Structure 1
């Protein structure tokens, strides 16, 4: 099943900035829909093949599941406790609508793009005068073309199109959404400068779906959270302490001291590894709580046996105690989220389904493309002979070059070369290109496009000639040509590996096409054109 919401989300990703999908070419929309249907078919095939039960896939998904659950816990226990949830509801109300507006931006001070010498007071006075002119009937779009410091105004005449709440900076959107269509704002000050805003239209948001606002909720929560980070850090600290109290957390400071002593004695040149510890040391209890404990083994697992990143913490009692505390707190939170069935949360399930199916498609692609790719020499030769144009050898000409920046000197050297002066001696004396000088000016064999005007001129004059000066880069080139290799087909032995890669890609493409046809036959699709035509 492919929902309207999924299709709208795909349209939004494919055509960002489009305010009405009715404007999108119907063929483009149909092409996108067919790609989404094909993707659904592949997912169905992956489930039928049991790819969702792959051990490596399950391990990866479980890892992502733990992180998703932890994030949800933070949202519930920290984010929701430090933000004003009424603002979330206000945000959801506001995104039901969108407005179409135009503006004039007037920068001042040291802002990039500010007209020379314009002060904040100058910008405000100009903004006030523009407000008056627009209210008296002048076109804001004409004035934006003349006065706006928004770089896009030259193309859009200040027309911002339709946008929803949350797309603009706070001061701008607060003013704009409080205007009725046709109204003009007083000057609005933002971090960009002064704005004069006119709202042209207000309508229902065509992309609003009251049943699918999770992304919108997370957006406003993240914004409100970023404005209350100090409070959030305090709440996280308090929450951690409450969790540790609930589980009767107890740190064994003496064991931590003993561990630091042992590590200091063992560590020679930061080459410490897990094998340097005895089983007894690995199981040394550094802290305990109801239902669990923290040992050196826990720390090694957390750092994937990369002790180098742990060593700085082992040099300080306080740092190591904090590390042990963090590990224990995370483990206790995992117990809480398991107890409270976080894995049944609809948001968690949705995220994990998306992650699982993305990885399933990746594994499916590998399985589908598995085929015998050890071609015989006869097969490769047959492909080579059947497709000669794919292995063409462009015509190439041998070139030596003397590069000189000064035009007059270049002309002098060119005359000397043409009059029979030894080219190698001239190159040694005059060539200013360090890279070619190391090779005595030798460029090797070059095709007509390999060195711009130099190779173009070389082909014009032909083999065993001298020419110049040729204007090239920021100087001049004098060239000598040698042998000419005519266009032809590369030898099979020289392109054998290339032939194999091309044949492999061709067979892979044929196999994929056949597989896609089989999927289309097995998993037929019915499109609701009535709903599609409304989008």
Structure 2
């Protein structure tokens, strides 16, 4: 019985494997000794038609046409290999360069950006209220003693001492120590120091992080006082009753007024109408108190804290800020944006705050994985030989190169990297040109070089573990070969000179025609009164160009103001108006055009006619080149078909995408 249940569970998988196997064995075309399976055809077709589901809706003639093109493509690739293009040194170098450049980008995308951007996105769904005690080394305590003090304070807090009191006593953060160390609410991407952010996310509500966290400025003792889901932004309405100063009578008067309004809200009066009637914030009052969307921290703290505690439709108790007394109603919570919508903004945050740190961690782990070893004997030898040597062309004739150039400076696995390669890289990059070689510069150069090198080692094999990258490389390689083949067989063989173009134009000149065209000038103005005044001046024989300078409001960069050049007579309302006039120099009455008024002056008309050779030359050359290109490619394909004798099994295409 258990076997029968197991078989039932496996049945869909068996059917799927069976279908895939059948499609792999069905042949839709063949040439020479090569067969194209239905499975291969489906993969190629779906990639060019927007996916498998879209392909299901395509007709049999569309499938047949693609099969013809695909067989042609495969035969060209076969010809490229017969010609040895895959062994061509230039081709191999181009492919290697592409692999190195694109591979690094893809490797970092997959192993650094994508996981960390998703982590940042997920982290930003939560916000924390955090307090800290900031300890700074000074003349009374060195760094080690400051760290020890931090540990002692954490121990005292864990034994029950009040965090807030200790913050007021010990914290050097003048902004927060008077508030007991309260930093307020934070989320991922708002803290400049990754170690502090990481510590916060590891700490539960009410707890203190067990170690002082270094920041480069000192040490931080961190406590999480709140942890809750984050609303990225909210939309609220408010009613503001200000007080002119903080004196008790003025404050009491404002408080009484806001209490009266609060009572009206409780009695069911419309909040928006109350805001329009009573709120002193006139900017929002005319919008029924609407403040629009705002995110955490944009408003003063008292207002912010009250607003973000509300549920939709809920009205806050009276809130006092430096502006006065407020009533706040939460109107809307912005929905969480998707990862893809946030991705670019997340990348900007990540690049600014965490990329460098995470990149260093990645290369450090890769160096361990790939057995990176620095040769410190060579390091010392370089320093002893460099003396007064400066980075640059002098290296090639230096004592250092002759005595240590081939020495190993570091090793990654079985691959050795020489002193020569290190200095040549520095010279090529040019970042340290004409600088003296000292221990710090040398170590930095080795670190940068070895960081790049371990990434490149992973990239060299990345196509073996990443199918997408392997496909990308394969497509690029095939594209190189096709370009080379078509260049040799088609493009480089096209020979078109002026005589050929002229003969082609002469034989087909009826195909090169101008429609009725017109040339004119325009004055455009947004005001009817101005354009009428302009027209009145034109009828009084004031020169058109003078009036153009005075009345025209359309941007015009031509050397002849207002001139539109020769255009089809029915191109738009301007050309139609110009074409309706009889004689050059005639001027139209004002007419409405593009949110304003226009006047046009006819310069000349050009009736429909055959283009002269000079007018048609560029167009004729393009058409002739296209015809010649098609002729040569057809000739090349005929040659391939005679060699490979392709066969097409169109009936099998009826089984595609089923």
2:575 corresponds to 1:455? yes
Q: What is aligned with 1:294?
A: 418
The offset of 1:313, in angstroms, is: 9.3
Q: Secondary structure at the match of 2:91?
A: helix
Q: What is aligned with 1:178?
A: none
Cα distance between partner residues in 2 of 1:477 and 1:439: 17
Q: Secondary structure at the match of 1:446?
A: strand
2:362 corresponds to 1:240? no
TM alignment of 1:46-125, pairs within 5 A: 46-64=80-98, 110=233
2:29 corresponds to 1:29? no
Contact 1:402 1:477 in 2 (8 A): yes
Q: What is aligned with 2:502?
A: 381
Contact 1:287 1:324 in 2 (8 A): no
The offset of 1:262, in angstroms, is: 3.2
Q: Secondary structure at the match of 1:468?
A: coil
With over 3 angstroms needed to count, the CA separation of the structure-2 counterparts of 1:235 and 1:466, relative to structure 1, is closer
The offset of 1:237, in angstroms, is: 0.9
TM alignment of 1:192-207, pairs within 5 A: none
Q: Secondary structure at the match of 1:477?
A: strand
Q: What is aligned with 2:120?
A: none
* Unpaired stretches in structure 2, ≥5 consecutive residues: 1-34, 117-230, 236-289, 294-306, 314-332, 340-353
Q: What is aligned with 1:2?
A: 36
The offset of 1:407, in angstroms, is: 1.0
Q: What is aligned with 1:432?
A: 553
TM alignment of 1:219-230, pairs within 5 A: none
Contact 1:274 1:307 in 2 (8 A): no
Q: What is aligned with 2:534?
A: 413
The offset of 1:318, in angstroms, is: 3.5
Question: Residues 179-213 of structure 1, C-alpha deviation per residue, up to 9 Å, x if partnerless?
Answer: xxxxxxxxxx96559xxxxxxxxxxxxxxxxxxxx
Q: What is aligned with 1:470?
A: 591
Q: What is aligned with 2:47?
A: 13
Query: For 1:423, which of 529, 544, 547 is the aligned residue?
Result: 544
Q: What is aligned with 1:220?
A: none
Question: Residues 111-160 of structure 1, C-alpha deviation per residue, up to 9 Å, x if partnerless?
Answer: 89xx9999999789xxxxxxxxxxxxxxxxxxxxxxxx99xxxxxxxxxx
Cα distance between partner residues in 2 of 1:73 and 1:409: 64
With over 3 angstroms needed to count, the CA separation of the structure-2 counterparts of 1:482 and 1:10, relative to structure 1, is same
Query: For 2:601, which of 455, 458, 480 is the aligned residue?
Result: 480
TM alignment of 1:38-437, pairs within 5 A: 38-64=72-98, 110=233, 234=361, 236-241=363-368, 243=370, 250-253=377-380, 255=382, 262-263=389-390, 274=393, 278=397, 280=399, 284-285=404-405, 288-289=409-410, 292-300=416-424, 302=425, 306-309=428-431, 311=433, 317-318=439-440, 320-328=442-450, 353-435=474-556
Contact 2:577 2:600 in 1 (8 A): no
With over 3 angstroms needed to count, the CA separation of the structure-2 counterparts of 1:472 and 1:531, relative to structure 1, is closer
Q: Aligned pairs, how many?
A: 400
Larger CA deviation: 379-388 vs 315-324: 315-324
Question: Residues 224-258 of structure 1, C-alpha deviation per residue, up to 9 Å, x if partnerless?
Answer: xxx99988964641441465566856551563587
The alignment's TM-score, normalised by the length of structure 2, stands at 0.49
The offset of 1:417, in angstroms, is: 1.9
With over 3 angstroms needed to count, the CA separation of the structure-2 counterparts of 1:8 and 1:478, relative to structure 1, is same
With over 3 angstroms needed to count, the CA separation of the structure-2 counterparts of 1:385 and 1:350, relative to structure 1, is closer
2:561 corresponds to 1:527? no
Q: What is aligned with 1:506?
A: 627
The alignment's TM-score, normalised by the length of structure 1, stands at 0.58
The offset of 1:287, in angstroms, is: 5.3
Alignment RMSD (CA, Å): 5.1
Contact 1:109 1:119 in 2 (8 A): no
The offset of 1:42, in angstroms, is: 1.3
Larger CA deviation: 503-512 vs 312-321: 312-321
Q: Secondary structure at the match of 2:63?
A: helix
Cα distance between partner residues in 1 of 2:538 and 2:463: 81
Q: Secondary structure at the match of 2:602?
A: strand
Cα distance between partner residues in 1 of 2:492 and 2:106: 43
TM alignment of 1:487-502, pairs within 5 A: 487-502=608-623
Cα distance between partner residues in 1 of 2:363 and 2:649: 49
Larger CA deviation: 342-351 vs 43-52: 342-351
Cα distance between partner residues in 1 of 2:557 and 2:457: 68
Q: Secondary structure at the match of 1:462?
A: coil
Question: Residues 245-293 of structure 1, C-alpha deviation per residue, up to 9 Å, x if partnerless?
Answer: 66856551563587595337xxxxxxxx647853655565485346634
Cα distance between partner residues in 2 of 1:278 and 1:426: 74
With over 3 angstroms needed to count, the CA separation of the structure-2 counterparts of 1:529 and 1:257, relative to structure 1, is farther
* Unpaired stretches in structure 1, ≥5 consecutive residues: 83-107, 125-148, 151-188, 194-226, 265-272
Cα distance between partner residues in 2 of 1:321 and 1:378: 66
With over 3 angstroms needed to count, the CA separation of the structure-2 counterparts of 1:23 and 1:260, relative to structure 1, is farther
